[in-house]
Amino acid sequence: MSWPIGPRPPLRRFHQARWDEPIIFELSQPGARGVLPPPVEPGIRERVGDPAAALPAGVRRTSPPALPELSQVHVLRHYDRLSQENLGADLNIDVGQGTCTMKYSPKVNDQLVRSPKVAELHPAQDDSTVQGVLEIIWRLEQLLREISGMDRFTLQPGAGSAAIYANVLMIRAWHAARGEADRRDEVITTIFSHPSNAACARTAGYRVITLQPDRNGDPDLDALKAAVSERTAALLITNPEDTGIFNPRIEEFVRVVHEAGGLASYDQANANGILGITRARDAGFDLCHFNLHKTFSTPHGSGGPAAGASGVTSELARFLPRPTVEFDGTRYYLDHDRPDSIGKIRPWVGVTPNLVRAYAWIMSLGAEGLREVAEVAALNNNYLMHKVLEIRGASAPFAPGRRRIEQVRYSWAGLAEETGIHTEQIGARAADFGVHYWESHHPFIVPEPFTLEPTESYSKADLDEYAAILAEVAREAREEPDVVRTAPHASTIHQVEHDVLDDPARWAVTWRAYRRKVRGEAVEGPRDAVEGPR
Ligand SMILES: Cc1ncc(COP(=O)(O)O)c(C=O)c1O
């Protein structure tokens, strides 16, 4: 590829570092150390005894853990090199993770949570020694109550799907308290609600009924009316759906489910386009959840550490996971004494650093700022949609001509038909320009899909650049298809072989499994549960 010489190329030149970096276990040097623990003081063993003796025999190690042995500088180099082989959120115009929302995570909030006041807390500390953090968590709950209209929140779930699962368990507990849990064994959702809704309901043992869109791209209200019955436990619904289309009849959906005796749970994981504009409770919902890592700017980091927040009405509050964070007018405390609680969804009170970050983010914006986030996110999205739909071969299926809220599920079906180039090849080629997208998840009823979500974080220039890259790749698909077909060319890793991921005999997610399966070594010791067959 040749670029014009000038101060700024029309499309940015990009080339990822290539370090041929082994995995950290392969760098291990027996005896190398990053930190030397201080020698045990003479006599201390006699005074405190053997600390391991306090552990039950069944959980004591029989051999030291097989950890890599490296000096500090080798660890530093290793991770710095890996970071250079990455296309992370701080490096690119990260609008290609639609439904997974990559917005800017302000660095000042990271600074806050790196303070020893947060970073060095132990989750089992006595309440009296963590008053500040409990106050932040309590205050965050008050803010989320105001944002959603709900009466109580738990901040315990470690992800959006964990929050949905908590909601499903609370729904069952509510029906059980009325003697109806066995009869109400069905959950209704929609095909473009995030798939974790159907997955959580199914995991909890419910039969799942999935509604399809009507001619306007909205979930079909008549289908809902036909689906509800005395077996309906709940409706789990995302709005705007993963297409970015807002269901204007959402209150009617809630009413129909209530009339059948079911509950309604609003998946507001991604509230980027509706913050300060609509509220779950105002639409009649009984439960809702937010992903703090999507809407409230806390980082995602490869699927974690996430933080989900589940909100409920006062009628459902007794079922919340325990402990809840309470304030009695003078002190904050954890309330474990909640006999109707569904129990725990994850340890302690939640992913505390992310709760602190989310609190700081909300406080720095204020009510008007939150509304502005939604307005700018929707404006950015509709601007980008306008630019993308100018590219021949791109389309936004369902609801033609209608605006979207915060994201759009697009299709390259037209381009694929004309050129034989598929969406994942376009995503891979875009990486050669320093941006990319993933090809979206279930349901695969949109052909050649990609979902873009610009959020409030990206400037007009960013969006112009992103759209120009897609336009250039679409041009290449027509005029130089082999360049696209064989992409990426400028990344550390070339094309990823996806088939391996479906073949447990070939994937290896632990060091032991890697040695057995990839290096063909005879490895002593137990096989991991995740290791899969030999
Ligand atoms: C609308 C919606 N609901 C639920 C989830 C699930 O959240 P998590 O990935 O944290 O489990 C997502 C995440 O992408 C989402 O976009």
DSSP 27-83: G--TT--S--PPPPPTTHHHHH--GGGGS-GGGS-SS--------HHHHHHHHHHHH
Ligand 1 centroid–CA 206 distance in Å is: 20
Q: Tell me if 269 CB under 6 Å of ligand 1.
A: yes
Q: Tell me if 194 CB under 6 Å of ligand 1.
A: yes
Calculate the alpha carbon distances from 452 to 188, 254, 388, 437, 449 in Å: 27, 29, 10, 8, 10
Q: Tell me if 306 CB under 6 Å of ligand 1.
A: yes
Q: Tell me if 99 CB under 6 Å of ligand 1.
A: yes
CA atoms within 13 A on the CB side of 85: 14
Taking residues 232-257, what's their average pLDDT? 97
Residue 529 has pLDDT above 70, yes or no: no
The CA-based angle 63-66-71, given to 5 degrees, is: 130
What is the percent of the chain where pLDDT is above 70?
Answer: 96
Contact yes or no for 311/153 (Cβ under 8 A):
yes
* DSSP state at residue 153: E
Question: What number does the ligand 1 atom closest to the CA of 99 have?
Answer: 16
Ligand 1 centroid–CA 29 distance in Å is: 41
pTM of the model: 0.90
Residue with tokens 């315990």: 156
Rounded CA-CA distance 292/227 in Å is 32
Q: Tell me if 160 CB under 6 Å of ligand 1.
A: yes
To the nearest whole number, what is the mean pLDDT of the chain?
92
Instruction: Classify 30 in phi/psi space as left (phi over 0), alpha (psi -120 to 50) or beta.
Output: beta
Q: In sequence order, which residues have a C-beta less than 8 Å from that of residue 502 and are 6 or more positions away? A: none
Residue 40 has pLDDT above 90, yes or no: no
Residue having the nearest C-alpha atom to atom 7 of ligand 1: 160
pLDDT band at 215 (very low <50, low <70, confident <90, very high): confident
Residue 25 has pLDDT above 90, yes or no: yes
Ligand 1 centroid–CA 305 distance in Å is: 13
Question: What number does the ligand 1 atom closest to the CA of 193 have?
Answer: 1
Residue with tokens 């570092």: 17
Taking residues 23-35, what's their average pLDDT? 94
Q: Please report the pLDDT score of residue 531 as a whole number.
A: 56
Residue 320 has pLDDT above 60, yes or no: yes
Rounded CA-CA distance 394/450 in Å is 10
User: Which among 522, 510, 527, 461 has a CA at the least distance from the CA of 11?
Assistant: 461
| Probe target for ligand 1 pocket from 191, 236, 268, 294, with the most ligand atoms within 8 Å of CB | 294
Residue 527 has pLDDT above 90, yes or no: no
Q: Please report the pLDDT score of residue 5 as a whole number.
A: 53
Query: How large is the angle between the packed helices 352-389 and 107-114, nearest 10 degrees?
Result: 170
Residue having the nearest C-alpha atom to atom 16 of ligand 1: 99
Q: What is the 3 state secondary structure string of 159-214?
A: CHHHHHHHHHHHHHHHHHHCCCCCCCCEEEEECCCCHHHHHHHHHCCCEEEEECEC
Residue having the nearest C-alpha atom to atom 8 of ligand 1: 160
Tokens of 170: 């609370």
Contact yes or no for 99/405 (Cβ under 8 A):
no
Q: Please report the pLDDT score of residue 7 as a whole number.
A: 56
Q: Please report the pLDDT score of residue 303 as a whole number.
A: 47
Least confident of 204-218, 314-328, 491-505: 491-505
Q: How far apart are the first and last CA of the chain?
A: 44
Taking residues 113-122, what's their average pLDDT? 92
Higher-pLDDT residue of 348, 179 = 179
Q: Tell me if 196 CB under 6 Å of ligand 1.
A: yes
Residue 334 has pLDDT above 80, yes or no: yes
